């Protein structure tokens, strides 16, 4: 019986499984500790990089002490956790001289130094026992390891000073102007020459990114409030660079009443079947057929969709390349392509929109308000740059609602109350004037159009001054 007991192997697989599970748990625990240390290292390096760059970018304007304060504030933003509260102190921001030849940094005491005595700044961040904040380990204690010390170093070269102050002006590729107050919302990206103007002030929502030739303007720079900018944004360390003091009118909006009266009188001389020979519409409509929608309320349908029971005066199929005049209001059903179409209505215009529609060479003028819905794009993102002028025009004497649009490209417009909603989450080459205060809503991306469009109407031609020869900023040079 004893020999039988010795030969018995029942339960061996269970013991082996338990043994392997323990090994797996230990290995997984070690991986967790290593992963956590790597995460802390990256966080410290990001904070050190941001701090050194902030100090380098601001020391010329704020001096050594002011630049150190900015660096610590920037680091604190990136180290917003109690475990990192002691990771960087004033003594960790050090100005000195960096040698490209030897790749060595030599600290310089700043008490009696000037900017001519230094060319770089170093920032250090620590998680170690000396700071009483080492990186805790959970599983490596099992093999006798102690908590880990993790440090980071970043060196940024100070901006180089060049002789002279060579400034050049460039035109605004996209412009939004209000005679009231502008709230841009947050999380916007403004690429290229974007000009945003609020005659009574401008407020950004934070987490925005601006290109070098984007500007916010108002008569008084103190009325422009710029909240937190994302990493790499122009003006990240000096938001004053984004501000321009100027008063801007709204000539396009101011001319709407006159344009409305002139166009209304002009269109009243036409009948259905006539050819447009006037001068109020853009030249692209000259010679196109005219249709008079002589009803109080008209519904425009997609060609070929008119049903027999709809064959009455208030429902009309929309023909391409046509000029429409409506003494009343107009409603466009969804999925109706209005490219190459001009619609002038004495009252309201409503556009139903639809998938995969991109209106080009279009003109809409509402004597009342202008409403859109659906996924229509105003202008085509693939072709709008081929035009020398804005390809689509949207005017309303009252309110304009673009909340349903999927994008706005190469479009000019004016209205009393501008409500873009989410229309400009993707846009480029736009120009809008409005009388009332405007809230853009946030999450916009206005891309660079790489050109300034001409206008067939009287509009502002704002410029942006770009300083090209005073200071060039370099990226941080890291020492391992």
For tokens 């556009």, name the residue. Answer: 351
pLDDT for position 53 = 86
- What are the backbone dihedrals phi and psi of residue 111, each rounded to the nearest 5 degrees, phi first? -55, -45
pLDDT for position 47 = 84
Rounded Cα–Cα distance for residues 296 and 300 (Å): 13
Q: How many CB atoms lie within 10 A of CB 45?
A: 18
- What are the backbone dihedrals phi and psi of residue 79, each rounded to the nearest 5 degrees, phi first? -120, 45
Q: Which of 92-101, 109-118, 397-406 has the lowest mean pLDDT?
A: 397-406
Highest-pLDDT range among 124-138, 142-156, 276-290? 276-290
Mean pLDDT of all residues in 34-55: 82
For tokens 């900017």, name the residue. Answer: 115
pLDDT at position 75 over 80: yes
pLDDT for position 141 = 63
The tokens for 39 are 């995460």
- For 265-304, b/e burial (b = at least 16 CB within 10 A) is ebbeebeeeeebeeebbbebbeebebbbbebeebbbbeee
* Residue pair 381/409 in contact by the 8 Å Cβ criterion: yes
pLDDT for position 13 = 61
Residue of higher predicted confidence among 186 and 11 = 186
Whole-model pTM?
Answer: 0.65
pLDDT at position 342 over 70: yes
Q: What is the pLDDT of residues 224-237, one digit of tens each?
A: 999 989 888 998 88
DSSP state of 134: P
* Residue pair 118/108 in contact by the 8 Å Cβ criterion: yes
Could you write out the three-class secondary structure of 143-190? HCCCCECEEEEEEEECCEECCCCCEEEEECCEEEEECCEEECCCCCEE
HSE of 218, CA atoms in CB hemisphere, 13 A: 23
* Residue pair 121/156 in contact by the 8 Å Cβ criterion: yes
Percent share of the chain, pLDDT over 90 = 38
* Residue pair 181/161 in contact by the 8 Å Cβ criterion: no
Identify which of 464, 4, 379 has the alpha carbon closest to the alpha carbon of residue 193.
464
DSSP state of 81: S
For tokens 């929502």, name the residue. Answer: 205
Rounded Cα–Cα distance for residues 123 and 154 (Å): 5
Residue 142, burial from CB neighbour count under 10 angstroms (0-12, 13-18, 19+): exposed
Q: What is the pLDDT of residues 444-466, one digit of tens each?
A: 889 888 889 998 898 888 877 65
Mean pLDDT of all residues in 120-140: 81
pLDDT at position 354 over 50: yes
Residue of higher predicted confidence among 2 and 392 = 392
Please name the residues in contact with 290: beta carbons below 8 A apart, sequence gap of 6 or more: 267, 270, 271, 272, 273, 274, 275, 276, 322, 323, 324, 325
Residue 208, burial from CB neighbour count under 10 angstroms (0-12, 13-18, 19+): buried
Q: Is 478 left (phi over 0), alpha (psi -120 to 50) or beta?
A: beta
Rounded Cα–Cα distance for residues 350 and 475 (Å): 51
pLDDT for position 25 = 60
Which residues on neighbouring strands pair with residue 466, listed in sequence order? 168
Percent share of the chain, pLDDT over 70 = 81
Please name the residues in contact with 399: beta carbons below 8 A apart, sequence gap of 6 or more: 369, 370, 415, 416, 417, 418, 419
Q: What is the pLDDT of residues 367-411, one digit of tens each?
A: 999 998 777 788 888 889 999 999 999 999 999 998 766 789 999
Identify which of 196, 206, 47, 122 has the alpha carbon closest to the alpha carbon of residue 478.
122
Q: What is the pLDDT of residues 150-182, one digit of tens each?
A: 888 888 888 775 544 444 457 899 999 999 999
Rounded Cα–Cα distance for residues 294 and 326 (Å): 6
* Residue pair 208/233 in contact by the 8 Å Cβ criterion: yes
* Residue pair 457/438 in contact by the 8 Å Cβ criterion: no
Identify which of 128, 52, 132 has the alpha carbon closest to the alpha carbon of residue 92.
52
Which residues on neighbouring strands pair with residue 330, listed in sequence order? 298, 349
Q: Binning pLDDT at 50, 70 and 90, where does residue 475 land?
A: very low
Average model confidence (pLDDT) for the chain? 83
Rounded Cα–Cα distance for residues 426 and 401 (Å): 16
Rounded Cα–Cα distance for residues 225 and 38 (Å): 38
Mean pLDDT of all residues in 25-36: 66
Rounded Cα–Cα distance for residues 271 and 293 (Å): 10
pLDDT for position 166 = 45
Q: What is the largest CA-CA distance in the chain?
A: 120
Rounded Cα–Cα distance for residues 144 and 383 (Å): 67
CA torsion, ordered 224, 227, 233, 238, to nearest 10 deg: 60
pLDDT for position 360 = 85
For tokens 């947050």, name the residue. Answer: 186
Q: To 5 degrees, how large is the angle CA 287–CA 273–CA 289?
A: 25
CA torsion, ordered 204, 249, 193, 454, to nearest 10 deg: 150
Q: What is the pLDDT of residues 261-319, one digit of tens each?
A: 999 999 999 999 999 999 899 999 999 999 999 888 888 887 767 666 555 668 888 88
């Amino acid at each position: 019986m004893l020999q039988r007991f010795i030969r018995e192997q029942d339960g061996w697989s269970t013991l082996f499984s338990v043994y392997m599970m323990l090994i797996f748990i230990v290995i997984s625990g070690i991986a967790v500790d290593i992963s956590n240390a790597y995460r802390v290292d990256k966080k410290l390096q990001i904070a050190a990089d941001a701090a050194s760059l902030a100090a380098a970018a601001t020391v010329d304007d704020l001096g050594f002490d002011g630049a150190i304060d900015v660096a610590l504030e920037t680091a604190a933003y990136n180290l917003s956790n109690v475990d990192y509260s002691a990771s960087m102190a004033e003594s960790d921001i050090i100005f000195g001289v960096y040698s490209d030849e030897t790749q060595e940094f030599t600290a310089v005491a700043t008490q009696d130094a000037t900017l001519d005595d230094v060319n770089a700044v170093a920032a250090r961040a620590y998680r170690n026992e000396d700071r009483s904040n080492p990186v805790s380990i959970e599983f490596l204690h099992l093999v006798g390891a102690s908590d880990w010390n993790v440090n980071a170093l970043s060196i940024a070269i100070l901006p180089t000073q060049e002789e002279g102050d060579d400034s050049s002006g460039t035109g605004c590729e996209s412009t939004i102007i209000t005679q009231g107050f502008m709230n841009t919302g947050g999380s916007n990206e403004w690429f290229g020459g974007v000009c945003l103007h609020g005659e009574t002030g401008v407020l950004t929502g934070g987490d925005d990114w601006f290109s070098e030739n984007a500007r916010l303007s108002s008569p008084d720079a103190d009325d422009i409030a710029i909240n937190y900018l994302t990493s790499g944004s122009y003006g990240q360390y000096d938001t004053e660079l984004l501000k321009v003091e100027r008063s801007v009118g709204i000539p396009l909006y101011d001319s709407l009443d006159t344009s409305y009266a002139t166009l209304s009188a002009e269109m009243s001389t036409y009948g259905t079947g006539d050819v447009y020979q006037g001068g109020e519409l853009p030249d692209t409509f000259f010679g196109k057929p005219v249709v008079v929608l002589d009803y109080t309320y008209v519904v425009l349908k997609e060609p070929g969709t008119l049903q027999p029971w709809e064959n009455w005066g208030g429902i009309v199929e929309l023909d391409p390349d046509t000029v429409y005049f409506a003494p009343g209001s107009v409603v466009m059903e969804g999925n109706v392509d209005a490219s190459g179409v001009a619609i002038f209505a004495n009252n309201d215009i409503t556009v139903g929109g639809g998938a995969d529609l991109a209106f080009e060479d279009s003109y809409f003028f509402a004597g009342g308000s202008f409403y859109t819905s659906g996924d229509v794009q105003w202008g085509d993102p693939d072709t709008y740059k081929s035009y020398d002028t804005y390809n689509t025009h949207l005017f309303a004497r009252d309110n304009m609602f673009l909340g349903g649009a999927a994008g706005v490209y190469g479009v000019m417009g004016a209205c009393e109350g501008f409500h873009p909603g989410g229309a400009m989450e993707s846009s480029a080459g736009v120009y809008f004037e409005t009388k009332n205060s405007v809230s853009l809503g946030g999450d916009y991306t206005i891309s660079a159009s790489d050109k300034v469009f001409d206008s067939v109407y009287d509009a502002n031609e704002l410029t942006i001054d770009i300083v090209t020869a005073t200071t060039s900023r370099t990226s941080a040079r890291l020492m391992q």
